[in-house]
Structure 1
Amino acid sequence: MPGKTVNLSVPSGEGYRVREAEVSDVPGIRDLERRAGAPFREVGLDAVADDEPPTAEVLRIAVRKGEVFVVEDLSPARGVGEGPVAWMWLSTADGFLLLEQVSVDPAYRGKRIGSALIEGAVDHGRAEGFAGVVLTTFRDIPWNGPLYRRLGFRTMQDAEIGPELRAIRRSETEAGLDVLQRECLRKRITR
């Protein structure tokens, strides 16, 4: 994806801007990821809430590849330099566009920022000729599986999961995530 432009949008008229991340955004992304984990505590997933975000080096590599996007709040109420209010990481797996991560600051939940990013990722996948977008997520957490299913994603059957997505699932299991609570989802893209 290096050098490719991604036309992502967030709800208009709200004073938000989506842009490709820069290396200088990495600390803010990591802080945001910690805040975005807090709601998992409300559903009994303290280990997820306490999980550290990707390392700064991992994020720097993804940023340099052009895989990471941030949403800024440009409203006057938001202080300059307060960091992103949402972020997204796109890569590939098994020939599909992979939605590695989408996180929204809990203070910005309910504003459709996450949904807009996901829909923008699907549009990008379509423009780039991908047959679909895939991801792994929690099946029943409201802002995970149910949200993606409302946006047209469907649960992948075991036989549909390719080797790269299987490797991601293995690493999730090794990290202590309960595989029974997780699922692989895909949204097919039509041209």
Structure 2
Amino acid sequence: MPTYTEVRFAEAEDFDRLEEIETAADALLVDLFSAEDWPPTTPANERAAYPGFTLLLRRHDAGIIGFVQVLEIDGIAHMEQLSVHPGYGRRGYGRMLVAAAKSEALSRGHEALTLRTYRDVPWNAPFYASCGFAPSIPTSEFHRHLVEVETRLRLEQWGPRVQMTAVIR
């Protein structure tokens, strides 16, 4: 039997499941880096309140298995989080969510989509490069603020971070 999937906007009752998925996906980085002090997952109520949009991916036989959240701040569309449950990784679901995020950002009038990620983790910057993102410089106040947050969280202790941008117009 074929597997049917749908991408749709997240609703209030979905965010607890999204928090579970992010925690499971973050465990891959925690294991990779042997990180004992990894920052906690964004609480569901906080994620639900962020400006922008959240799309989720649902399989008919498994429920919600992944999501992408795009912040819309100061005219910028920024992919804040992409998570696919590790049990469904490497099947194209992340790529499907990235394409959906680009499409929705374009429909909202954005010309580009940015993100910040680990440069050398295969399922981070190299994956995003294969989705049309290229390294870019944080020139806006918003992007410089993200760098400051990453510095406070000490994210670079596990490897170099990079900003990436995809032109979507």
Name the CA shift for 1:45/1:187 in 2 (closer, same or farther; >3 Å). farther
How far 1:94 moved relative to its partner?
4.8
More strand, by proportion:
2
Residues 80-121 of structure 1: CA distance to partner in whole angstroms, max 9, x if unpaired?
A: xxx521011112245331111110000000111111111121
- Residue number in structure 1 paired with 2:115: 135
1:17-166 counterparts in 2 under 5 A?
17-47=6-36, 50-62=38-50, 67-75=53-61, 78=62, 84-157=64-137, 161-166=139-144
Distance in 2 of aligned mates of 1:53 and 1:144? 17
Q: What CA RMSD, in Å, does the superposition of the two structures yield over aligned residues?
A: 2.1
Name the CA shift for 1:146/1:94 in 2 (closer, same or farther; >3 Å). farther
Distance in 2 of aligned mates of 1:37 and 1:22? 22
In structure 1, stretches of 5+ residues that fail to align are: 1-12
- Give the letter aligned to residue 153 of structure 1: F
- Paired residues in the alignment total 167
When normalised by structure 2's length, the TM-score is 0.88
How far 1:61 moved relative to its partner?
1.3
- Give the letter aligned to residue 16 of structure 2: P
When normalised by structure 1's length, the TM-score is 0.79
Does residue 188 of the first structure (1) align with residue 134 of the second (2)? no
Percent identical residues: 24
Residues 15-45 of structure 1: CA distance to partner in whole angstroms, max 9, x if unpaired?
A: 2121111111121111111101111134225
Contact in 2 for aligned 1:104/1:113 (Cα 8 Å)? yes
Distance in 2 of aligned mates of 1:14 and 1:138? 31
Contact in 1 for aligned 2:52/2:71 (Cα 8 Å)? no
Contact in 1 for aligned 2:111/2:168 (Cα 8 Å)? yes
Contact in 1 for aligned 2:55/2:97 (Cα 8 Å)? no
Distance in 2 of aligned mates of 1:46 and 1:115? 26
Q: Secondary structure at the match of 2:123?
A: coil
Contact in 2 for aligned 1:93/1:165 (Cα 8 Å)? no
After superposing on structure 2, the runs of 4+ consecutive aligned residues of structure 1 that deviate more than 4 Å are none
Contact in 1 for aligned 2:57/2:64 (Cα 8 Å)? yes
Distance in 2 of aligned mates of 1:93 and 1:45? 33
